[in-house]
Structure 1
C-alpha cells in the first residue's frame, strides 16, 4: 500500500505565470493563479504547478558540479514539429548533437531541462 499519491510536480521559477503559460501551450490546460502559486489544470497526465522562487538559479545540463534537479519527459508524435513549436514558445536547445536518438533535450524559459521523446 502506498503512503501517498503524487498530487503535482512543482517547478520553482522567477515568473510562475509566464512559465505556466509556456507549459499550457506545450501540454494544454488552464492556468489558475493564487498569489505566487500557479496551477496548470485540465490537461492530461500529472498536474504541474509553479511557485515564485526569488534568487532562482537555473540548473545546468549536464554538469557534475551543478545539479539538474529533475527533468520532464514529454512524449510527442513528430519530433521535428514539436521542436519547432517549443523553440517558438521560448525553449532553448541543450543537446543538439545527435538527431537520430529517440529524445532531444531542451530548457524551458526558466532554464529547467525537459526532453521531447518519440512516442
Structure 2
C-alpha cells in the first residue's frame, strides 16, 4: 500500500510568476497566484499531469548541466509530437539549448529561463 500520493512538483526559482508563465506557454494551463497576494508561491493549474508549482528561493543558483560537481537534482521530460517545432517554440519563450547537437536522438536538452534542465522528448 502506498504511503502517499504525489501532490505537486515544485521548482525553486528567483521569479515564480515569470517561470510559471514560461511553463504555461509550454504546457498549457493557467498561472494561479496565491489568493493572499503572496508572490513567493505560484501554481500552474489546468495543465495535464501533476500540479507544477514555483517557489521563490532567495539566492537561487541554477543547476549546472552536465557537471559532476554541481548536480542537476532532477529534470522534467516533456513529450512532444515534433521535436523541431517544439524546439523553435521553447527557444522563442526563453529556453536555452544545453545538448541539442545530436539531431538523431529522440530527445533534446534545454534550460528554462531560471536554469532548470528539461528535455523535449519525441512521442
Interval containing the TM-score (normalised by the shorter chain): over 0.9
TM-score normalised over the length of structure 2: 0.95
Give the whole-Å Cα distance in 2 for the aligned partners of 1:96 and 1:42: 29
- Note the alpha carbon deviations across 1:62-115, whole angstroms, 9 max, x for none: 111001011000000000000000000000000122110000000000000000
Unaligned 5+ runs, structure 2: none
Q: How does 1:1-119 map to 2 (within 5 A)?
A: 1-34=1-34, 35=38, 36-119=40-123
TM-score normalised over the length of structure 1: 0.98
Residue 48 of structure 1 aligns to a residue whose secondary structure is: strand
Give the whole-Å Cα distance in 2 for the aligned partners of 1:37 and 1:109: 17
Size of the aligned set, in residue pairs, is 119
Unaligned 5+ runs, structure 1: none
